[in-house]
Structure 1
Amino acid sequence: MKLFFIATIALLSYIAIDLVFNQNMWDANTTLTLYLQQNQFDGEKEMFLVFSYSLYVLPSIAGIAFLILDNKLGALLYGGMILFSVASNSLLKNIYHQARPFFIVEEIEPYECNKEFGKPSGHAMTSQAMCFLLPSILFPAIWKDQSNCKYPLHLRLLVIFIITFWTFMTGFSRVFMGVHSFGQIILGWVYQAYISIIYMQYLHDKIVNYLKECLQVGQQGVSIKVISVIGFIVFIWTCISILFLELNRNIFISTSEATLWMEAVYEKCDNQTTLYTIDSPSVLQNICFSMCLYIWFMLSFVFGIKLSKGIYLENEFKQHYKQISYWKKTQRILVLIILISLLIPFYFIKFDAVYAQAFGQVVPVSILGGLFITVVYQKLLNYLKLSIPGDFLQIITNQSSDGIIIERQVKKS
């Protein structure tokens, strides 16, 4: 537990430093952002936009890994941690409820039109989660030799340099674009570093080992007790999210202040045709509250594992996957793409109230996303005869179960 206490003390210390020097960092950032925007070279804006928008590409790595790698559980946990980063960042934004630089500094121009609070930076948190958890969860040999995999030192150093550089440039791009102060960026990095360290050090291996054990042939799957604990966590998280939503709407953020901020969005952002108010679902505390509820994916994921009644034999997938045709591999990809695309229409529904958007859009997408991956996808693969031995939550019959047990006994002997 020594690392836990050190990390916690470091986090609390920086939170205190941030509170004390908040105004100093804000003033220094204003000077920096104005200098960067007023003295940019040709192509600089486009370069920073690439780093900023790359954030939306990296989650696809989780999907690719889930489809072609044997570490399917790792790919899903990696994707789950990205969603947790989004949800925790949104909750923290409602706790801090700090404006973005272009909301209140007249000279700063926004190169991206973000309408929620700015502190801590979501791009800082999620980019760090994506870049550093990717090798930690899917390719752990990057950090430490594994019994079945070792990478040369130069490759390790190259990967570490790339993920560190990419994380830094993603954060710096947000300062240049006028949508974050560097104080908001650094705070995002600090929070995500704490989350990642605690997760990898104390939770990841335990979660993986537990799920692998309860998804063996003859086991009963995830226990009701575990599902109940996660359900309680999600319920408390939702209650806290509602609390800070209402505090911001009725106490911390005044209507006049929110109006000034939304007028800045309306006047400065290209193609912005709507003048939002403090009650608009897609701005400030309202959109932050909605995104807090991506935490519901956690509950849906474990509940779906229970419903699926499938098994997971990680070491058997790789050899069987190599033997199937490219057409069959393509069909497996298309099935997953079709399932995910069924969630897209939810984002085209327009809501006039924040609770309607949160519980009519984000919560259903989170719940259905978890159930699609854990239940529907494997049932479709099984129905279409596209299932492969070793698939995550592979559906088996009593006859195939007996065959798997005999095959494994033969391998052991």
Structure 2
Amino acid sequence: MGCVFLISLIAVFLTFLQIYEQERLEESSRDLTIWMQSFRNPIFDIFFEIIGEITSVCCIVIAGTLYLIGNRETGLIGLIASLFGVALSGFLKILFGHPRPFWKYSEIKGIQCPEDFGTPSAHALSAGAGLLVLGIMWLRSGNQNSKKVMIMLCGLMITAIDRIFLGAHFYFQVILGYIFAGLVASIVLHPKVYAWIYKIPNDISVVIKSHIIMIGFIAASIITAFYRKSKWNDSWSINFQVQCGNELTVNDAVYENFTDAALVCLVAGMIMGLFILKEKEKPKFSYGLVFLSMFFNVGIMGTMKVSDILIIKFTDDFWRILLICTLHYCCGVIHCYLTPVIINFLHIAKTPAKEFLKLQELEKCEIIENKKEL
């Protein structure tokens, strides 16, 4: 509990620091970003755009795949850390309402064109929380820990460089994202919470309590989105339109971040999915199983993302919130209940037939050997 308390103090301190020293921090970060972008070339641009896409989903894909191949609790813990990291960043972005570098400074190029607020970095919070949780569980699993730590540090460093180079975040937004990622990871890996998650398949009270927490979080996000009047500078819209060719308003930014905050509904759906699934038979490991699980995992997340875009485009406030939350919850149940059932059917159904054929071959061999002996 001491680790959680210490990281909480650091997070609170840095939050107040970035609120009260925002202008100074943004100016110092502007100089760093301009210097980093002085090395721009087409290869670097493409490379860092690809890195940005990978780091945004890598931990979610890894954790989701672990869950679907049979490592249920480990996969769910990784999913909770990564997805709640995104949700927390969405809530905090609405709360702070701070711009991205290329919104504020025309001399900074927005290589990508994100339409949501910047503080803290969602990439840093989500990838950081997921990487820390999965990495620490990986460290506990065996030796060669120094190599594993180096891989984790490289992942964190590449994510930070990527976000600054692309003009997507000021450096302190990335640092704040990592601090909150550490807080999420320390909470998820706390022995009591860790044991709590392992009780999900067999304890309805854990499911109910987790849903109450998620409802409280989404309620706080809705209240913040509607009643927190974010400061908006018209120059941000102008810079965005010049660089990206699209209009940007405060409502666009708020709804983008609310969509992220609503991922707690996805987490709640996943918890319910695991509870319904119980301890059903798990498929035997194979590389085909891994690829099949990755296919379903990416497909569900991709479908949800496209649906979010369509809902935001074609619905108004009430229906937008209701449909996004409902969609996320259903996707969570599908991912953690229906998808394992389908994968088990596709993968395990083949096993008895194969074993039956092997038994037939063995019986034929025994008959032939017996005839030879006679």
TM-score range for the pair, normalised by the shorter chain length: 0.7 to 0.9
How high is the sequence identity, in percent, across the aligned residues?
A: 17
How far, CA to CA, are the matches of 2:288 and 2:155 in structure 1? 35
- TM-fit CA distance, 1:351: 2.4
How far, CA to CA, are the matches of 2:36 and 2:289 in structure 1? 51
- TM-fit CA distance, 1:115: 0.9
Q: Name the amino acid aligned to 1:260.
A: S
User: In structure 1, what is the equivalent of residue 61 of structure 2?
Assistant: 60
Out of 258, 265, 279, the residue aligned to residue 311 of structure 1 is 279
SS for the counterpart of 1:275 is: coil
Q: Can you list the C-alpha shifts for 1:391-412, whole angstroms capped at 9, x where unaligned?
A: xxxxxxxxxxxxxxxxxxxxxx
User: In structure 1, what is the equivalent of residue 265 of structure 2?
Assistant: 296
Q: Can you list the C-alpha shifts for 1:301-337, whole angstroms capped at 9, x where unaligned?
A: 23334444x3257xxx5xx715x8x878877776767
Gaps of 5+ in 2: 352-374
Indicate the larger mover: 231-240 or 296-305: 296-305
Out of 346, 355, 363, the residue aligned to residue 307 of structure 2 is 346
How far, CA to CA, are the matches of 2:288 and 2:31 in structure 1? 56
Is 1:386 the counterpart of 2:348? The answer is yes
Q: Where do 1:158-173 residues align within 5 Å?
A: 158-173=147-162
Q: Can you list the C-alpha shifts for 1:202-241, whole angstroms capped at 9, x where unaligned?
A: 4443134423xxx4xxxxx332x33332222222212211
Q: Name the amino acid aligned to 1:18.
A: Q
Q: Where do 1:191-340 residues align within 5 Å?
A: 191-211=180-200, 215=201, 221-223=202-204, 225-248=205-228, 251-254=229-232, 257=233, 259-269=234-244, 272=245, 274-279=246-251, 283-308=252-277, 310-311=278-279, 317=282, 321=284
Q: Name the amino acid aligned to 2:314.
A: F
User: In structure 1, what is the equivalent of residue 164 of structure 2?
Assistant: 175
How far, CA to CA, are the matches of 2:68 and 2:150 in structure 1? 27
- TM-fit CA distance, 1:20: 3.9
Q: Name the amino acid aligned to 2:259.
A: S
- Residues paired across the two proteins, number: 348
Indicate the larger mover: 345-354 or 177-186: 345-354
Contact 1:222 1:302 in 2 (8 A): no
Distance 1:93 1:74, change over 3 A: same
User: In structure 1, what is the equivalent of residue 7 of structure 2?
Assistant: 7
SS for the counterpart of 1:60 is: helix
How far, CA to CA, are the matches of 1:77 and 1:332 in structure 2? 17
SS for the counterpart of 2:151 is: helix
Contact 1:48 1:170 in 2 (8 A): no
How far, CA to CA, are the matches of 1:33 and 1:334 in structure 2? 37
SS for the counterpart of 1:197 is: helix
What is the TM-score of this pair, normalised by structure 2? Answer: 0.81
- TM-fit CA distance, 1:76: 2.3
SS for the counterpart of 2:98 is: coil
Q: Can you list the C-alpha shifts for 1:264-291, whole angstroms capped at 9, x where unaligned?
A: 212112xx3x424334xxx211211122
How far, CA to CA, are the matches of 1:384 and 1:40 in structure 2? 47
Contact 2:115 2:248 in 1 (8 A): no
- TM-fit CA distance, 1:72: 2.5
User: In structure 2, what is the equivalent of residue 407 of structure 1?
Assistant: none
Distance 1:26 1:203, change over 3 A: farther
Q: Where do 1:132-171 residues align within 5 Å?
A: 132-137=132-137, 139=138, 142=139, 144=140, 149-152=141-144, 156-171=145-160
- TM-fit CA distance, 1:178: 1.4
Q: Can you list the C-alpha shifts for 1:94-115, whole angstroms capped at 9, x where unaligned?
A: 1111011111212111011011
User: In structure 2, what is the equivalent of residue 187 of structure 1?
Assistant: 176
Indicate the larger mover: 196-205 or 98-107: 196-205
Distance 1:163 1:329, change over 3 A: closer
- TM-fit CA distance, 1:343: 4.3
- TM-fit CA distance, 1:385: 7.6
Q: Greater helix share, 1 or 2?
A: 2
Distance 1:29 1:383, change over 3 A: closer
Gaps of 5+ in 1: 216-220, 390-413
Indicate the larger mover: 11-20 or 99-108: 11-20
Distance 1:44 1:375, change over 3 A: closer
How far, CA to CA, are the matches of 1:60 and 1:336 in structure 2? 7
How far, CA to CA, are the matches of 2:303 and 2:31 in structure 1? 46
Is 1:29 the counterpart of 2:9? The answer is no
**RMSD between aligned alpha carbons?**
3.1
Contact 1:115 1:284 in 2 (8 A): yes
Q: Name the amino acid aligned to 1:369.
A: C
- TM-fit CA distance, 1:91: 0.3
